[in-house]
């Protein structure tokens, strides 16, 4: 397995890419930018997972398996039920390893913006009222704070598995993200 940084050239033009990181790290934003730069489809896993009223869609795993079988895509690496399938097909894993304070700041701003503007997310869902952060132990802000270390543990397991197929790019700052998209990704278009 190759572990690359924001300046390192990619060994090949990736075709099936995953973007990993804690909730709020920017997975969907980076995945969409990567897809646009390379001209490949972006499959947003939250849109496939969440049905109306935040109920998981029964077709989720089948939908993921169907797009994972195709030749080119970019997706977020989340949801334990489909992570192994996606990783087995991926040839590039982008790890957004931003500091906890940065992730939480981004997530807080995103949550506030979405709630205050009542942004429709997936299948008619909107962020719950802000006060539910105090009453709902699964509120995205509470969940992300607690899940942050698990995201790193998951990535360490991938790195220790010594997979010869997956190239991992570790990006530790927003500056790294911008430099990587403008440099090594642009170079393989």
Give the DSSP H/E element, type plus range, for residue 85.
helix 83-89
Condensed to tens digits (0 to 9), the pLDDT of residues 19-34 reads: 999 999 999 999 999 9
Domain 2-187 has CATH 3.30.1180.10: no
Joined tokens for residue 174: 């927003």
User: What mean pLDDT is predicted for residues 36-50?
Assistant: 96
Domain limits of the chain? 2-187
DSSP codes joined into one string, 115-164: HHTT---STT--PPPGGGGTT-TT-HHHHHHHHHHHHHHHHHHHHHHT-S
Q: Is the dihedral of CA 155, 159, 163, 167 positive or negative?
A: positive
Condensed to tens digits (0 to 9), the pLDDT of residues 88-118 reads: 999 999 999 999 999 999 999 999 999 999 9
Instruction: Specify the residue for token string 């997979």.
Output: 163
């Amino acid at each position: 397995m190759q572990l690359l940084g924001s300046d390192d050239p990619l060994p090949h033009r990736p075709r099936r890419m995953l973007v990993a990181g804690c909730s709020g790290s920017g997975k969907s934003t980076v995945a969409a930018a990567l897809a646009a730069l390379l001209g490949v489809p972006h499959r947003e896993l939250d849109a496939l997972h969440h049905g109306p009223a935040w109920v998981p869609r029964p077709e989720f795993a089948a939908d993921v398996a169907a797009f994972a079988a195709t030749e080119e895509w970019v997706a977020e690496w989340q949801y334990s039920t489909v992570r192994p399938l996606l990783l087995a097909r991926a040839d590039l894993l982008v790890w957004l390893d931003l500091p906890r304070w940065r992730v939480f700041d981004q997530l807080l701003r995103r949550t506030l913006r979405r709630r205050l503007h009542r942004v429709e997310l997936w299948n008619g869902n909107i962020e719950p009222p802000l006060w539910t952060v105090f009453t709902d132990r699964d509120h995205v802000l509470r969940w992300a704070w607690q899940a942050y270390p698990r995201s790193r543990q998951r990535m360490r397991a991938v790195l220790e598995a010594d997979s010869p197929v997956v190239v991992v790019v570790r990006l530790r700052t927003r500056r790294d993200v911008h430099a990587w998209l403008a440099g090594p990704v642009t170079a393989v278009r």
